Amino acid sequence: MKVLVIYCTAFSYLPNTKTLEDAKDITTEQTPFGYFLDLNINAPGFSLARIWASL
């Protein structure tokens, strides 16, 4: 099972019924407003923030 955690209030308006076929096996959870998570993501390659900052 794949699990994706996204903390961003900008996505709160997206309905749960509008899922993509590629994402049908991914479980999503929504955190309550004001709830913070400390995430440590170890992923290979450059961070998107560094790439964006260099543009």
- The pLDDT score that the predictor gives to residue 25 is 74
CA–CA dist 6, 23 (Å, integer): 14
pTM score over 0.75: no
Residue numbers of the domain that contains 33: 2-54
DSSP three-state, residue 50: helix
Q: Which long-range contacts (CB under 8 A, 24 or more apart) does 31-36 make?
A: 31/5, 31/7, 33/9, 36/7
- The pLDDT score that the predictor gives to residue 35 is 63
User: What is the tally of structural domains in the chain?
Assistant: 1
8-34 average pLDDT score:
63
12-25 as b/e: b if 16+ CB within 10 A:
eeeeeeeeeeeeee
Residue 12's alpha-carbon distances to 4, 7, 45, 49, in angstroms, are 15, 10, 29, 22
